Amino acid sequence: MKKPLMLGLTLLTGLSQHAYAQSDYQTDSIFIRKIFNTALSEGKSYEWLRQLTQDVGPRLSGSEGAAKAVVYTKSVMEAEQLDNVFQQNVMVPHWVRGAKEKAQIINGKQKTDIPVAALGGSVATPKGGIKGNVIEVKSFQELRELGADKVKGKIVFFNRPMDPTKLNTFEAYAGAVEQRGSGASEAAKLGAIGAIVRSMTTRLDDFPHTGSMRYASGAPIVPAAAISTNAAELLSKTLKANPQTQIYFEQSCETLPDAPSHNVIGELKGKSGKYIVVGGHLDSWDFAQGAHDDGSGCVQSIEAVRLLKALGYQPNNTLRAVMFMNEENGLKGGITYADSAKSAKEVHIAAIESDRGGFTPLGFGIVGTAAQKSRIQSWQKLFAAYGIHELGPGGGGADIGPLAQQGTLLLGLIPDSQRYFDYHHASSDKFETVSKRELELGGAAMAAMMYLIDKYGVE
Which residue numbers are catalytic?
327
With a CB cutoff of 8 Å and minimum separation 6, the contacts of 345 are: none
Q: Which long-range contacts (CB under 8 A, 24 or more apart) does 204-208 make?
A: 204/229, 204/230, 204/233, 205/229, 205/230, 205/422, 205/428, 206/115, 206/230, 206/231, 207/115, 207/426, 207/427, 207/428, 208/115, 208/116, 208/117, 208/426
In angstroms, the Cα distances linking 171 to 168, 212, 290, 341, 383 are 5, 18, 21, 31, 25
Show the CA angle centred on residue 275, arms to residues 369 and 323, nearest 5°. 100
**Residue 2 CB-density burial (10 A; 0-12 exposed, 13-18 middle, 19+ buried):** exposed
**Of 205, 118, 114, 99, nearest in space to 423 by CA:** 205
DSSP code, position 51 = I
With a CB cutoff of 8 Å and minimum separation 6, the contacts of 338 are: 402, 403, 405, 406
Q: Which spans in 261-377 are helix H?
A: 296-310, 332-343, 370-377
- Across the beta sheet with 84-96, the strand order is 84-96, 254-268, 318-324, 274-281, 347-353, 409-415, 361-367, 390-392
